[in-house]
Structures are given as C-alpha cells and as structure tokens.
Amino acid sequence: MIRRLFVALSLTGVAVATVLVLRRSGGAEALFVLPLGNHLGAFGAMVLEVLLRGARFVVLGVVMGATVPIMSATMAQLAGDGGGAVTPSRSGSDPAKALILSRHGIRGGHIGALLVGEAVSEATLLPVCALVLALSLDVPLTAMGATLSWSVVSLTLVGLAVRLAPTRDSTAPRLLQRLGVTGQRWKRVVAVAADFRQAAGALRRMSPAHLLLLAAATLGHIAARLFTLPALVGAEFASANLAELLGWPFFLLYGAPLIPAPAGGGAIETGFAYFLGDYLPREQLGAVTFWWRFYTSHLFALLGWLAITIPTRRKPVQRTEAEG
C-alpha cells in the first residue's frame, strides 16, 4: 500500500510540474505550437534510439552464442522503460527486461550477462560522451556531474553482482535459507549463476569487431536520445543553442536514475524548464517540455507497459552453441 501511494504521489508530481510549465506558456493550447515536421524528427530519433538499444542486446547475444532477435530485444528495452517509470530510481527496469527476454526463451544466466554487458558499455562510454560535449561545445561541467555519478553507481552494482554470483560449491546464505531458498531451489540458483559466469566470461573475450559494433550501438543510442530535443525545436534554433540543448538534457536524462521517486516525481520537468527556460521562446517552453519528456520517456513507458501486460506465448528456453 505504501509503495503504491509513493508511486501515485510521484506521478502526481510529474502531472503537476507539467501543468505548471504549460501555464507559463499560455495553457494547454500551447501543446500545439510546434510544427508537424519537428514532431516527426523527434519521433524518428526516438525510434532509432530504442532500436539501437535493442541492437546492443543482439550484439551481446552473438558474443555469448545466444540468439536474441531484434524484435525481442527491442520489446525488452521498452518493457524496461515501462518498469522503470513506475519504480524508485528505475529499479524495475532490469527486472522488466528480464521478464520479456525470459518470455522469448532466453536463458536466465544469459539474461543476467546481457544486462551486465549493457550496463558496462553504457557506464564506460557515457563519461567519454560527457568529455566530448564539454570540450567541443563548451557544455558546463556541472551538467556532466550526474552522468559520472550514474556511471560509478552502475559499475559498482555490476561489480557486486558478478562478485556475489554463487559458485557450484557454495552454500545458500542464511537470509536466503530463511526465505526458503534451499535444496532444489538453491541448486537452480547455482545453475543459473554458473550459466551467468560462462556468458560473462565470453563477454570479456569479445573480439574487436564486436567491440566496435557494441560501441556504435551505444554511442548511437545516446546521440539519438540527445538529438530528440534539437529535432523538436528545429534545426535553425538548435544550431544557435546547441550546447545548452545537448548539455542540460544530458544532465537530466542520466541524472534521473539517481532520483528516488518514480519518473523523477516532477523534478525532470521542473529542471528542464529551469535550465532551458532562458534559451527557449516563452510561448514554446511548455510544449517543448511536454513533448521532449513524451518522446524520451512517456511514450517509451506506455509501449513498455503494453509489452509487459499483453500476454505472449512463452517460447522454450533456447540452447546455446556451447551446449551443442
């Protein structure tokens, strides 16, 4: 009950912040001031972004010897957005991805390795993107702080997950024993952990070609996500304010997972209006704030909830190349 109340209050904060920003621009009618071409550009960036995230799973799957279809990978990414939007600090994102991948026959240990590979590639390349933005566009260094914090947190959690994965001769911790994870249940956990270690080991031996593909998919999805806002405001305006239109969304998008409230609790919308209010035309501020958040979060979340809730026929767990 408390968890549901927290989610409801957080999402109410999102609605309130959106309404307040829209009122600064003249009300709900301000939503319709942007040209159709701008919307198509932002929507195209959104489609490219999620497809590249799905392609990253495909590449990681190839390295592990597991087949991850692009449609399944993309649906898993959308489900992650849906799960992350209604859980504190996006804690429901990875479980939602795992749910969809499991429905499509991906083995449990390989799912864990996919999530680890995704997190490591993102956390490794985000600081590189931050440095490039800071040096090439004179983006304020304060806009990069949240990104670096997110990378450190992600790499720390990945390190803990790999270190805590049980080996075949380990016994169940007392806490898990109290929760009933003993006997056959613990054996299943150990089997999944062994599968995970094997798949993660394959990722450490990734070839240069696969590394380049993984980096291209990761950098491409980050770029597409950042260029949603320039596409939304139009090329002419974006070219004159490119540093701000890339730097502050970078800060907000990758600082959001550090906010404990689901969907940011309205902090992202408020921060967007605060940091970019001096650069965007007043009559467009409400529309740009709403539609930027819609294309970078709300639309993903809506499609993700559909991917989670619509039942699909469960596919049998696939065999890997290593199993023959």
- Please tell me the total count of domains within the chain: 1
Find the domain containing 218 and state its range.
37-256+288-310
In a domain, 251, yes or no: yes
Amino acid symbol at 222? I
How far apart, in whole angstroms, are the C-alpha atoms of residue 209 and residue 6? Answer: 45
| DSSP state letters, 206-239 | --HHHHHHHHHHHHHHHHHHHTHHHHHH-HHHHH
In a domain, 2, yes or no: no
In a domain, 273, yes or no: no
pLDDT tops 60 at residue 100: yes
**Half-sphere exposure (Cβ direction) of 174: Cα atoms closer than 13 Å:** 0
Question: Of the candidates 280, 303, 163, 174, which has an alpha carbon nearest to the alpha carbon of residue 233?
Answer: 280
* 125 close to 219: Cβ distance less than 8 angstroms: yes
Residues 106-126: what's their mean pLDDT? 92
In a domain, 114, yes or no: yes
* 39 close to 232: Cβ distance less than 8 angstroms: yes
Q: Which of the two residues, 237 and 73, has the higher pLDDT score?
A: 73
* 42 close to 288: Cβ distance less than 8 angstroms: no
In a domain, 15, yes or no: no
The per-residue pLDDT of the chain, averaged, comes to 85
In a domain, 305, yes or no: yes
pLDDT tops 70 at residue 183: yes
Residues 140-152: what's their mean pLDDT? 74
The alpha carbon of 115 is separated from its chain's Cα centroid by a whole number of angstroms, namely 11
- ∠ CA 194-197-200, nearest 5°, is 150
How far apart, in whole angstroms, are the C-alpha atoms of residue 145 and residue 252? Answer: 10
DSSP assigned state of 316 = P
* 276 close to 173: Cβ distance less than 8 angstroms: no
pLDDT tops 90 at residue 58: yes
The pLDDT tens digits of the residues spanning 222-251 come to 999 999 999 999 988 888 888 889 988 988
In a domain, 12, yes or no: no
How confident is residue 175, by pLDDT bands cut at 50, 70 and 90? low
Question: Of the candidates 125, 202, 193, 203, which has an alpha carbon nearest to the alpha carbon of residue 161?
Answer: 193
In a domain, 277, yes or no: no
The pLDDT tens digits of the residues spanning 187-235 come to 787 778 888 888 888 888 899 999 999 999 999 999 999 999 999 999 8
Q: Which of the two residues, 168 and 70, has the higher pLDDT score?
A: 70
